[in-house]
Amino acid sequence: MQGIQEILSDAQLDSQGPMWLGKLDDITEEQVVTHLSDLSYKYSPDRFAALVSPAAEGYLEQMAQQAKQLTIQRFGRTIQLYAPLYVSSYCVNNCNYCGYNAGNDYQRTRLSIDEAMADAEVIADEGFRHILLVSGEDKEFVTVDYLCALAGKLRNRFSSISVEIYSMSTGEYAELFKAGIDGVTLYQETYDRQTYRKNHLKGPKSDYDYRIETHDRTASAGMRRIGLGVLLGLANWRIEALAMAEHANYLMKRYWRSGVSFSFPRLRPALNVSDRQENIVIDKQFVQMMLALRLCFADAGIVLSTRERASLRDELVKICVTRISAGSKTNPGGYCTRTESAGQFEIDDDRTAAQVASMIKSVGAEPVWKDWDAGFCSC
């Protein structure tokens, strides 16, 4: 089976050339209607291209209705809640969109195991049982041993632990899995090689190929959950969506034991980072991308973070979102120990976990704090 690099290269999806923009512009409304009448909800490159094309913009209401019914059919009227726990703002990479950029001069923060647990206790007391550990590329401090030791303590309070950190080897991911970490979220940021080089100037993350192979290593190590995403605003969103869909299709075929989810991070203001965006993604386009993915990947998770404003999150919870963060702090120690430390980026929805849970109930859905237990593995 071809690797993801070869798949994207053959399809010319790792370069933002005029070919795909022209192909998308040539898609007609009749083609969109034909694909929307196919209720198998299976992925094909042609179907997905039609749903993210400019011609589909006039059919967002129909797409939303189908996505809503499909989401209820596959997931019920439930929304899973999770919270991120940032453990280090140190980073060796120079990524020009990130507040943790190694070139930024400010007071960095690292949390000891005890300090991380203090934040985790606050998160647990709010009701969360799904937690996401987040860090800059800080291999000197956030080691495999550190993460395994932290996971060992977190398991007493959380039923599911995921990480959103630097790319690791298969062996390192296997150690994390053995310690109780069962999911990995990692954004390629952009699938366009030229844009990737432009935005990742120095550090291990500048290696496009090593990063794009990361999910192969996580799945090979046994991780139950794989999170994909692109940083919306770096490159043309339609072509990024096409590339991410191909990546998801590849992973689902090759590693069928691992569940795949999609995240939709948009560029946000961050410390000493310019807010100029060459490829602004407006709300209508943001929603179109999300709906197209749901209508082609019926069983994939759709994840929405506090980067987005409350009113937009409230509407999307009614349609296709299956997992949502709440009460998030993007600075290490932000929940209790070091509330003044610098964050990775600014959030937009600053409601508490209780307020978000109340919102979910108000739209006729059930907030789910826990839907997994390690005991299931021993059955």
Per-residue pLDDT for 376 more than 60? no
Which pLDDT band holds residue 346 (cuts at 50, 70, 90)?
A: confident
Average pLDDT over residues 141-156: 98
Percentage above 90 pLDDT, the chain = 85
Report the chain's mean pLDDT, rounded to a whole number: 93
Q: All domains of the chain, ordered by start, with CATH?
A: 4-68+79-370 (3.20.20.70)
CB–CB of 259/252 below 8 Å? no
**pLDDT score at 270:** 72
**pLDDT score at 1:** 78
Encode pLDDT of 260-271 as tens digits: 999 999 988 776
Alpha-carbon gap, residue 327 to 129, rounded angstroms: 14
CB–CB of 224/259 below 8 Å? yes
Encode pLDDT of 198-223 as tens digits: 999 999 999 999 999 999 999 999 99
Which pLDDT band holds residue 290 (cuts at 50, 70, 90)?
A: very high
Alpha-carbon gap, residue 142 to 112, rounded angstroms: 10
The string of DSSP letters for 329-340 reads --STTTTTT-TT
Residue 158 gets which letter from DSSP?
-
Which pLDDT band holds residue 274 (cuts at 50, 70, 90)?
A: low
Beta carbons within 8 Å of 44's beta carbon, 6+ residues apart:
296
Six-digit token string for 21: 């923009």
Beta carbons within 8 Å of 325's beta carbon, 6+ residues apart:
81, 82, 83, 84, 132, 304, 305, 306
Percentage above 70 pLDDT, the chain = 94
Which pLDDT band holds residue 129 (cuts at 50, 70, 90)?
A: very high
Q: Alpha-carbon Rg of the chain, whole angstroms? A: 20
Amino acid at 161: I
Per-residue pLDDT for 276 more than 70? no
**pLDDT score at 105:** 85
**pLDDT score at 257:** 94
Alpha-carbon gap, residue 289 to 59, rounded angstroms: 13
Encode pLDDT of 292-321 as tens digits: 999 999 999 999 999 999 999 999 999 999
Which candidate, 247, 175, 188, 189, places its Cα nearest to that of 218? 175
The string of DSSP letters for 51-94 reads HTSGGGGGGHHHHHHHHHHHHHHHH-SEEEEEEEEEEE-----E
Encode pLDDT of 165-193 as tens digits: 999 999 999 999 999 999 999 999 999 99
Beta carbons within 8 Å of 98's beta carbon, 6+ residues apart:
91, 270, 273, 344, 345
Residue 218, phi then psi, degrees to nearest 5 = -65, -45
Encode pLDDT of 70-121 as tens digits: 999 999 999 999 999 999 999 999 998 888 899 888 889 999 999 999 999 9
Q: What Cα–Cα distance (Å) separates residue 17 from each residue in 4, 9, 20, 22, 340?
A: 19, 12, 7, 9, 44
Angle among Cα 163, 334, 101 to the nearest 5 degrees reads 65
CB–CB of 304/264 below 8 Å? yes
CB–CB of 246/13 below 8 Å? yes
Average pLDDT over residues 126-155: 97
**pLDDT score at 379:** 45
This prediction's pTM: 0.95
Better pLDDT: 133 or 373: 133
